[in-house]
Amino acid sequence: MLTLVARTPSDTSGATRVGDRPLASLPERELVERCNTGERAAHDELYHRFRRVVAANLFRALGDRQELDDLVQEVFVIAYRGLANFRHEAQLATWLYRICVNVSYGRMRTRGRRPPPLFVDDLEQLANQSSATERPESPERALERRQDQARVYATLARLPAKKRIVLYLHEIEGRDLKDIAELIDSNPVTVRTRLFYARREFYKLLAEDDAAAGGEGTS
Amino acid sequence: MSHVAPHRLASYARGAATAGATPGWAGRRHARIERHLAGCPACARALARLRDARVAMDAIASQPAPELRWDRIRAQTYWALGQTGSRPAVAPPPALAVARGPRAGRARWWVPVGLAAAATAGWLAFGRTPSVTRPPATIAAPEAPPPAGPVAPAAVAPLTAVVTLVEGESTLTTVDDATLVGGSAIGAHRIVAGDRLATGTGRVAVQFDAGSTITVGAASTLVFTRFDVGAIELTLAPAGRVDVEVSKRGPDQRFLVHAGARTVEVRGTAFRVERQAQAVAVACEHGRVAVSSAGAGEVELGAGQALAVPDDGLLDGRRVRPMSAAELDELLAARPAALPQWTDADTVVRTTVTLPLVVPATRTISIDGVAVGTGSLWRRLPPGRHLVEAHDERGRLHGSRWVDLDGVAGEKPVAVGTEAEPALSATGTAAAQRQRLVELTRALGQDQLRGCVRSLAKQGLATGTHVELEVGVLASGTIRYLNIVGTDLPDGVAACVRDVVGRARLGRGAQVSWRHHITF
């Protein structure tokens, strides 16, 4: 049963006031160093700075809200464990993005062995939590938007994980071949080939619902 | 006529705005596609779909982070990090793992092979020397049983356990015969050998090692007969249930649970022993346990197996049965989570905080999203901010709050879910309800309602479907709550209907609630 009665914690959503975060202004390098000494407050600060970015990355890649809590946790566990090896060659956000991509890719691969998930519910839950700052949208339009997005995710889910991650990074995230190759530890030529076949398959599946002109070939 | 390949249509849709200005080969291809689209309705429809998908993909790209239970995730992250010693580490993502695996594997297998080769070469070079004793040709006799009679007490360090959960009314009788009642008193005591725990309607959980917990079930009495590094012996007397999770023990460390005439022995496992009315039941969640009895043999249980045997029955392997998934889930849920970081009992007591919670007896309490018990309880937690929620048996939320535990303010009971519940049954006079119902029906956007089921209507599936809503309206006309209590529509469509109802504007009038049916 759904209820509209407000819950006290949701109002804050775990938000922390700046005054409660003594390390809020700490530079990234120093923050990492203090994390590596095991300082709990530094871990808290790192989590607070990047939690929404991590959640958004994972949610965009997978379109699935049900497992999002676990995945965000997984990313931060990996990050905390690997912070000692972080050499500041890239920004912390870039490093975390790479972990997000790999966690998403891992989840896509395991998901491929399970029945396809239902995405509409996940998108529903997100839509029901739209914040007061969002532009008002008619329920009808919101439903159409959710259905379109659900169709994109459902089609993505039909692709093998290797193709799916490449297609997602290129077509949705707008990453170029070199970036993608670095993110998934591959080379640009492989990525280009994979992307070609992924696009061909993905758009064919998307257009299939309208394939009333059956029997005729495509060029 | 051959159609345009969808991926080419997608590229065209993306660059259509600049197609006229696109020079060279790409521009000529766009022009060719445009000519084809002018005479091919199928490709035009496909293009429209791909354009919709493109818009959806752009919307996905700018999708903000959904609101999650951030504090719960943070707490679970720290718990996961703290459990490294007893649980498998989270596997790193594949691309990050590439650099490590194979080299480490190669290095490992060369070591024993190299050592074996060196040993063989040495043996061949120097031959047998008189000092080397050959292994006996015959099978060694089994070890002699331990001598009967009193055994000199071994010099082993005593263990101390920390109470982590007290649910309901429980009693602890210490080895000094002092009687402690209630969560705060029991929680302040360190469990040692000779202590006796007796529970009422709830459970008591203690922890003595990283990942090693003993949970005494409801209406049970457990005696810590022996509790030291060399051996742990627990006795269920006269009856009761105990759930045990114990991390890997050394070969000389024994862990026994006595239940009547039966003894259960374990090494690194999670299991349950229950003794009721002249019978003993043992269930093993993971690892292995051996159930033995003097003169009645021994039976070994593996992961996911259970055994129930009367006191006078023979221990027989045929009594072992596999457990159902529901039984395994219940076994897992019976043990509250262990404290994440364990050094020794004194340090744990000093670095953790305690939280007495006051809730109605039927409410289930979750802390940081993990169910810990029912009714009022006492819990030991890491310091920090914790989310406490109270749910009823149907999973409905009845109260939640953040609790900041710093260990300085002292132990203060926290009440959750005790506030008066909103009236969810119909209220107000029948006439007032009818008036509000008519007002709401008039105020509803019929087109918007139809829009919610449009996609179903296209497939002929919308007719006869319904949504039943529980509506509460304040005197000011504000809709106080709006719950979907019954529907045969998909969740998304029902939520759309609820949103439409939620946008209705009502005037001042009676404060009522009622069940509102919408049928399509």
Summarize the confidence of residues B382-404 as an average pLDDT: 78
Is B93's pLDDT higher than 50? no
Residue of A nearest to B3 (CA): A218
Q: How many CB atoms lie within 10 A of CB B505?
A: 10
- Write out chain A residues lying below 8 Å of B483, CB-based: 1-4
> Which of the residues A184, A203, A204, A208 would you substitute to probe the B interface, choosing the one with the greatest number of B C-beta atoms within 10 Å?
A203
User: B 359-378 residues with CB below 8 A of A?
Assistant: 369
Residue of A nearest to B502 (CA): A4
Of A3, A12, A199, the CB nearest to B483: A3
H/E element, B14:
helix B6-15
Name the maximum alpha-carbon separation found in chain A.
67
Put simply, whether B9 touches A (Cβ < 8 Å) is: yes
Give the separation between CA B405 and CA B410, rounded to whole angstroms: 9
Give whole-number Cα distances, B302 to B267, B287, B289, B291, B322, in Å. 12, 6, 7, 11, 9
- Write out chain A residues lying below 8 Å of B8, CB-based: 219
pLDDT of residue A12: 37
Residue with tokens 């931060």: A76
pLDDT of residue A197: 93
Name the maximum alpha-carbon separation found in chain B.
109
CB-CB under 8 Å, A184 with B90: no
Give the separation between CA B280 and CA B66, rounded to whole angstroms: 49
Put simply, whether B344 touches A (Cβ < 8 Å) is: no
Task: For residue B366, list its beta bridge partners.
Answer: B371, B389
Of B56, B93, B401, the CB nearest to A106: B93
Task: For residue B293, list its beta bridge partners.
Answer: B262, B297
pLDDT of residue A194: 92
User: Which pTM value belongs to this model?
Assistant: 0.44
Q: In the structure encoding, which two tokens stand for residue B501, read together?
A: 């109802």
Of A55, A103, A147, the CB nearest to B68: A55
CA-based nearest residue to A29, from A80, A87, A97: A87
Q: How many CB atoms lie within 10 A of CB A153?
A: 22
Confidence of residue B215 (pLDDT cuts 50, 70, 90): very high
pLDDT of residue B224: 93
Q: Are strands B231-236 and B254-259 parallel, antiparallel or unpaired?
A: parallel
Measure A26 CA to nearest chain B CA, in Å. 20
State pLDDT tens for residues B324-352. Answer: 888 888 888 888 877 777 778 888 888 78
Three-state secondary structure call for residue B347: helix
Torsion from C-alpha of B466, B468, B472, B475, nearest 10 degrees? 40
Do B285 and B213 form a contact (C-beta atoms < 8 A)? no
Do B383 and B354 form a contact (C-beta atoms < 8 A)? no
Put simply, whether B83 touches A (Cβ < 8 Å) is: no
Please tell me the number of Cα atoms within 13 Å of B81 on its side-chain side.
18
Percent of chain A with pLDDT over 90: 17
- Write out chain A residues lying below 8 Å of B83, CB-based: none
Give the separation between CA B49 and CA A202, rounded to whole angstroms: 13
Do B424 and B500 form a contact (C-beta atoms < 8 A)? no
- Write out chain B residues lying below 8 Å of A43, CB-based: 78
- Write out chain A residues lying below 8 Å of B352, CB-based: none
State pLDDT tens for residues B253-277. Answer: 788 898 888 888 886 677 888 888 7
> Which of the residues A36, A77, A151 would you substitute to probe the B interface, choosing the one with the greatest number of B C-beta atoms within 10 Å?
A77
Most confident of A104-108, B73-77, B411-415: A104-108
Q: How many CB atoms lie within 10 A of CB B513?
A: 22
User: B 407-426 residues with CB below 8 A of A?
Assistant: 422
Give whole-number Cα distances, B216 to A19, B163, B235, B276, B361, in Å. 43, 11, 11, 14, 19
Residue with tokens 């919101």: A142
Least confident window among A68-77, A210-219, B66-75, B508-517: A210-219
Complex prediction ipTM: 0.75
Of B45, B61, B94, the CB nearest to A102: B94
Summarize the confidence of residues B168-181 as an average pLDDT: 85
- Write out chain B residues lying below 8 Å of A158, CB-based: none
Measure B406 CA to nearest chain A CA, in Å. 14
Give the separation between CA A45 and CA B341, rounded to whole angstroms: 21
Residue of B nearest to A155 (CA): B53
Residue with tokens 């790209």: B61
State pLDDT tens for residues B6-37. Answer: 888 888 877 654 445 555 666 777 888 888 88
Task: Give me chain B's average pLDDT, please.
Answer: 75
Write the Ramachandran bin of B29: left for phi over 0, alpha for psi from -120 to 50, otherwise beta: alpha
Of A138, A206, A218, the CB nearest to B50: A206
Summarize the confidence of residues A50-78 as an average pLDDT: 88
> Which of the residues B68, B352, B513 would you substitute to probe the A interface, choosing the one with the greatest number of A C-beta atoms within 10 Å?
B68
Residue of B nearest to A141 (CA): B451
- Write out chain A residues lying below 8 Å of B72, CB-based: 14, 69
Is B452's pLDDT higher than 70? yes
> Which of the residues B40, B50, B74 would you substitute to probe the A interface, choosing the one with the greatest number of A C-beta atoms within 10 Å?
B74
State pLDDT tens for residues B228-244. Answer: 888 899 998 888 899 99
Q: How many CB atoms lie within 10 A of CB B404?
A: 10
Three-state secondary structure call for residue B106: helix
Do B225 and B193 form a contact (C-beta atoms < 8 A)? yes
Of B56, B448, B481, the CB nearest to A148: B56
Q: Where are the beta strands (DSSP E) in B89-220?
A: 161-167, 170-173, 179-181, 190-191, 196-199, 204-209, 212-216
Give the separation between CA A93 and CA A50, rounded to whole angstroms: 7
Residue of B nearest to A104 (CA): B93
Measure B498 CA to nearest chain A CA, in Å. 9
User: B 47-76 residues with CB below 8 A of A?
Assistant: 49-50, 52-53, 55-57, 59-61, 63-74, 76
Q: B403 CB contacts (<8 Å, ≥6 apart)? A: B355, B385, B386, B387, B388, B414
